[in-house]
Amino acid sequence: MSWIRVGFSATKNIIGYTSILPSTGCQGCSTSISPGYSLYQYTQIQSRNYSFVNKVGSDQLWGGVTSVSAAGRKRGRTKSVKRRINLNIGQKIGYGKKGMQLPGLNTWVLTKSNERIKAGSQTDEQYEITLDSIRDFRGSTKKSRLKRKYPNPLNRGYNSSLLNGTSLGMPAPVRDETFEGFDSVLIEGKKVTNITATEGKVFASRALVAVGNGNGLAGFAVAKAKHPEVAAIKARDKAGQRLMFVERYKGHTIHHNTHAEVHCTKLFAKRTYDGHGVVAHKVIKDLCRLSGIKDIYIKLEGNTKNRITMTTAFFNAMTHQETHQELANRTNMHVVEFSEERNNVPVVLASPEDGKVQEKYYGSERDVYDLDTLYTKGKLHWTRPQMRPVWERLRFTSYQRRMAKEFRRRGQHEAQKVRRLCGLEPSKEERMRRDEVPKKEE
Amino acid sequence: MSCNLSKAAFLQTFRKLSCVHSQLLLLRGVHVSQFKPPVVPTDIDPFPLFMEEGVQTILNDITGIDLKKTALLQPKKLPLKPVLRAVPDKELKRLQADSFKKERSKIEQRPPFMRARKEISRELARNPEIAPVMTNNLLFIDTSAFTRSERANKDKVVVVRDTEGTLRTATQEERDRAIQIAFPVRGRTIFPSSFFKPENLHNALQRCRYSYVLDKVCVQYDPDHPEFLRITKEIYDYILERMEFDALRGTRHFGSMAFYLSLCHREYELVLDMLERKLIVDVMDYIRLHRKIHSQEGSKGSLSKPLGYDKKNFEKLMGLYMKRITGNRKKQAEKMVESLLEAGLPEIIKENLSQRELIDSYLKLETNVY
């Protein structure tokens, strides 16, 4: 028997361990191990009741299991290592297997009638069950790393992980001036580096923030700081002091088509009708919201990744507009709007303030004063014409066959509605009756 | 709140009403008042009277042209891009004259006021021997030459062969349907939409969309169609009850309405409305028209010569007109005239005339030349 042999050459700990075995061992094999009892009776048992478990603190103990070396951490071994388990979960001082009453610990010392409560004992059956259930629950759930909390899509910016595109609130007040009604957007937060002689690579963060009140006042600024949030707030307050006024036509769109160019970024802005909405790059959508432009079409060309040039180009285009009144004064002509929605009646938007109106066109002026191309040096932004699909362009036979097949059914859905209104559409039963095939008489 | 409606129903109808005047009427409870709808006299044939040149010019003048009204925003299916242009003074005048002319040509196309058409039933031939072969009615239209779709209804021959074998001219309803199939009018449907049902029509009228409904009716029906007469009469009565003549002023339906009111001896309300708006010249013209329509000679009688538009003639004309009206109305009219005299009648007349001259000068401008 292996355990007997072990008994002879065992260390004292193991002997102590073996001594327990017979009392708890299985009774089914008592016959086979009976010779061992004789040996057991004559050996002298030494036992010293201490273990390293009593001497070493729990933190140190757990450290042996959970810690990773510095080299290992670099290689990402922290991911695979075991996590610490709370062994005391569900336990509470004063509550235990025996649901004892301990006045001052788990009950009041005095009753209502100022009598002392005596410590009493009674068994608590529920205690163990709850403890087990808590431990089971912990075992059943998968232990995972801390999950990132995703912000609500309405609150987050351009990207869920970064702060870009989020609001930073209104800028800090300057003296007694408060920026009520203003809002700000962090357009870009970026880590920038500087290499110094003494320290090597030094990191800093840079923030581009735009502010505006949504009613013609807007501005932007760039600021740097060591911490990204500090840089953002610094830029926000700076932008509050660099406000510009954006001219708008009837408070919804710009006065005329314009363009602006900053370094490699080109920006084309088109005026649109009421209700068109803002169709632009996501950054420029925010800028339009802050400056109060509701209907515009903006196309960016060239470098579309540089957000600083983008914003400068936007503000350049918006602040260099010529209002209709200014145009009328400059040219000594009426500025007139035509639209089919107004039956093509000439609506005079502005006429010269001094009253001196030019009598008639001179020379080739008629071509020049088309306001769509006046401010873009006679050029229009070119849009690619929409291509029809190949089968439609080349008139494939299969396509023509399909169209011929659908010819009868085309537009019937609309026609059915009209018939229903006029009371001509047959009811369901009537149609079923009509569809029934009459039986042939034999 | 002295009306018979329950509180909820009252609020519901009140919110629906877009005009202040009808809201006031509802508050006063006038919609349950004893409004007597006008009756069209049977002894006068209105059409030749209406088509007279003098009458037409008066109707044109009364209507006037209001460019602000035509430039009101009308929702289209697709919002079209507005075009901006810088134009000198002469060019602007030319453009304005262009739209004045367009507007006048629209106004001149006012729907004529006619009697309802008569039912046709004429048998051409009877051949009962072919009856066993006939399973359906056969309808024949003369499509030999294209005529203008507006005239097609009158010119074309439409004939029906019955299942009993008789050949007869088609009834008016059959004609309408057949001709709409052969010579379709744009926007007209063979079966009229439920929009023209009284309950739906009332809903549209409550929102004060008179000219919109009238335009739709003009497309769907011919002016001598009994349905056309019924609907237009309903709308005109609705306007008369509420005194909202200004909603139609400047549109092509104003002239027709004024003619209808004058024909039914209900011109008083319109005259009062014109006096209130200080349109003295219009009042003088309109009373002249009224006297012409109800003169004993009828359509044969000529229009009285236009008197000079001044204070003296106005007083004279109003004096003659006042003799016919009696009671409470007379007092009201007298009061109006007095207040106008106090406000300075000659100046008002001068202003009215200058307004007309402005329109005339625009209409005379040559628009094709720069």
B141's CB contacts (< 8 A; 6+ apart) are B156, B157, B158, B178, B179, B182
From the list B74, B83, B191, the residue facing A338 with the nearest CB is: B83
Band (pLDDT 50/70/90 cuts) for residue B330 is confident
B83 touches chain A (CB under 8 A): yes
Q: Hey, what are A188's tokens?
A: 């870009």
pLDDT value for A358: 86
Distances (CA, A) of A93 to A84, A90, A97, B198: 22, 10, 12, 85
The nearest CA of chain A is from the CA of B203 a distance in Å of 17
How many CB pairs (< 8 A) connect A and B? Answer: 103
Q: What DSSP string runs through A57-83?
A: -HHHHHHHHH---HHHHHTTGGGTS--
Is B137:B112 a contact under the CB 8 Å cutoff?
no
Q: What is the pLDDT of residues B198-223, one digit of tens each?
A: 888 888 888 788 888 999 999 999 99
Residue A328 distance to chain B (closest CA, Å): 8
Q: Which of A436, A305, A285, A300 is nearest to A381 (CA)?
A: A300
| The two structure tokens encoding residue A87 | 């062994």
Radius of gyration of chain A from its Cα atoms, rounded to whole angstroms: 42
| Minimum distance, in Å, between the CA of residue B313 and any CA atom of chain A | 37
pLDDT tops 50 at residue A384: yes
Q: Which of residues 347-366 of A touch B (CB under 8 A)?
A: 347-349, 357-361
Using an 8 Å CB-CB cutoff, list chain A residues near B75: 341
B147: helix, strand or coil: coil
The 10s digit of each residue's pLDDT in A164-207 is 999 999 999 988 889 999 999 999 999 999 999 998 999 999 99
> Which tokens go with A390?
């190949």
Q: How far is CA B192 from CA A165, A317, A425, B176, B232, in A?
A: 56, 54, 15, 11, 15
Chain A residues whose beta carbon lies within 8 Å of the beta carbon of residue B74: 341-343
Alpha helices (runs of H) in B185-263, residue ranges in sequence order: 198-206, 210-220, 226-242, 253-263
Residues 6+ away with beta carbon under 8 Å from A410: none
- What is residue A215's DSSP assignment? S
Provide, rounded to the nearest whole percent, the portion of chain A with pLDDT above 90.
41
CA distance, residue A347 to nearest chain B CA (Å): 8
Is the Cα dihedral B233, B237, B239, B243 positive or negative? positive
End-to-end CA distance of chain B: 61
Give pLDDT, residue A42.
63
A276: closest chain B residue by CA: B79
pLDDT at A23: 44
pLDDT value at position B327? 78
Cα-based torsion angle of the residue sequence B162, B165, B168, B174 in order, rounded to the nearest 10 degrees: 10
Q: How far apart are CA B230 and CA A116, in angstroms?
A: 101
Q: Determine the Cα–Cα distance for residues B124 and B194; give it in Å rounded to an integer.
A: 36
Residue of chain A whose Cα is closest to the Cα of B190: A422
Tokens coding A224: 């740097």
Q: Identify which of A249-263, B181-195, B330-344 has the greatest average pLDDT.
A: A249-263
CB-CB contact of A69 with A33 (8 Å): no
At B328, the pLDDT band (50, 70, 90 cuts) reads: confident
Q: In whole angstroms, what is the distance from residue A68 CA to residue B195 CA? A: 82
Given a contact cutoff of 8 angstroms between Cβ atoms, the answer to whether A197 and A177 are in contact is no
Chain A contact for B76, CB < 8 A? yes
Mean pLDDT over the full length of chain A: 83
> What is the DSSP code (8-state) at residue A429?
H
Q: Compute the distance between CA of residue B251 and CA of residue B248 in angstroms, rounded to an integer.
A: 6
Distance CA B59, CA B108 (A): 9
CA closest to A335 among chain B residues:
B86
Q: Give me chain B's average pLDDT, please.
A: 83
Backbone dihedral angles phi then psi of residue B277, each to the nearest 5 degrees: -90, 5
Closest CB from A332, A341, A370 relative to B85 = A370
Decide: helix, strand or coil at residue B160: strand
Tell whether B367 is within 8 A of chain A (Cβ): no
C-alpha dihedral over B212, B217, B218, B222, to 10 degrees?
Answer: 180
Instruction: Answer yes or no: are the C-beta atoms of B116 and B172 closer than 8 Å.
Output: no
Q: Are residues B84 and A372, on separate chains, in Cβ contact within 8 Å?
A: yes
Q: How far from the centroid of its chain's Cα atoms is residue B91's Cα?
A: 34
Chain A residues with CB-CB distance to B99 below 8 A:
343-346
Close Cβ partners of A37 (under 8 Å, ≥ 6 residues apart): A22
In angstroms, rounded to a whole number, what is the distance separating the alpha carbons of residues A81 and A66? 6
Per-residue pLDDT, averaged over A299-320, amounts to 94
* CA separation, residue A45 to residues A42, A52, B186 (Å): 9, 21, 118
The yes-or-no verdict on residue A397 having pLDDT over 90 is yes
Separation in Å, CA of A342 to nearest CA in chain B? 5
Q: Is the pLDDT of residue A33 over 50?
A: no
Is the pLDDT assigned to residue A286 strictly greater than 60? yes
ipTM score assigned to the predicted complex: 0.75
Output DSSP code: residue A89.
T
Q: Could you report the per-residue pLDDT of A40-96, keeping only the tens digit for each? A: 566 677 777 777 777 888 888 888 888 888 888 888 888 788 888 888 888 888 888
pLDDT given at position A17: 43
- How high is the pLDDT of residue B33? 59
Answer whether B86 sits within 8 Å of A371, measured CB to CB.
yes
Report yes or no: A255 and A247 within 8 Å, Cβ to Cβ. Answer: yes
Count of beta carbons in the 10 Å neighbourhood of residue B91: 21
* Phi, psi dihedrals of residue A249, rounded to the nearest 5°: -90, 120
Taking the C-alpha atoms of residue B111 and residue B108, their distance in angstroms, rounded to an integer, is 9
State the nearest Cα–Cα gap between B253 and chain A, in angstroms.
Answer: 18
What pLDDT score does B294 carry?
Answer: 86
Q: Does the pLDDT at position B224 exceed 80? A: yes
On whether the CB atoms of residues A409 and A401 are closer than 8 A, the answer is no
Name the residue facing B71 among A274, A347, A422 (closest C-beta): A347
Residue B72 with chain A: CB contacts under 8 Å: 342
> What's the CA gap between A257 and B91, in Å, rounded?
24
pLDDT band at A145 (very low <50, low <70, confident <90, very high): low
CA-to-CA distance for B227 and A423, rounded, in angstroms?
A: 19
Distance (Å, whole) CA A220 – CA A243: 7
Helix pair angle (B267-276, B327-343), 10° resolution: 20
In this structure, which long-range contacts are made by residues A113-121, counting pairs with CB atoms below 8 Å and at least 24 apart in sequence? Answer: none
Residues of A in Cβ contact (< 8 Å) with B67: 345
Confidence check: pLDDT of B138 > 70: yes
Q: Is A244 touching B (CB cutoff 8 A)?
A: no
pLDDT-wise least confident of A123-137, A364-378, A404-418: A364-378
DSSP assignment, residue B223?
Answer: T
Instruction: Specify the pLDDT at position B11.
Output: 63
Looking at CA atoms only, how far is residue B332 from chain A in angstroms? 40
- State the helix-helix crossing angle for B345-364 and B280-293, rounded to 10 degrees: 80
B28 touches chain A (CB under 8 A): no
Helix axes B280-293, B311-324, angle to 10 degrees: 50
Q: CB contact, 8 Å: B84 with chain A? A: yes
- Please check the confidence at residue A355 and state whether its pLDDT lies above 80: yes
- Are B86 and A334 in contact (CB < 8 Å)? yes
B84 and A335: CB-CB below 8 Å? yes
Q: Which of A264, A261, A256, A269 is nearest to A312 (CA)?
A: A261
User: What is the rounded end-to-end Cα distance, in angstroms, of chain A?
Assistant: 100
B16 pLDDT tier (thresholds 50, 70, 90): low
Residue A303 to chain B, least CA–CA distance (Å): 30
Q: A370: left (phi > 0), else alpha (psi -120 to 50), else beta?
A: beta
Q: Are B196 and B221 in contact (CB under 8 A)?
A: no
Per-residue model confidence as pLDDT tens digits over B260-304: 999 998 888 899 889 888 888 888 889 888 888 888 665 555 666
B240: tokens are 């008369």
**Which residue do the tokens 């007469």 mark?**
B229
Considering only CA atoms, which of A288, A282, A286, A287 is closest in space to residue A252? Answer: A288
Range scoring the smallest mean pLDDT among A240-254, B33-47, B102-116: B33-47
Q: Could you tell me what percentage of chain A is helix, strand and coil, using 3-state DSSP and rounding each to the nearest 5?
A: 35, 20, 45
All structural domains of chain A: 2-42 (no CATH), 85-144 (no CATH), 183-245 (3.30.160.20), 390-422 (no CATH)
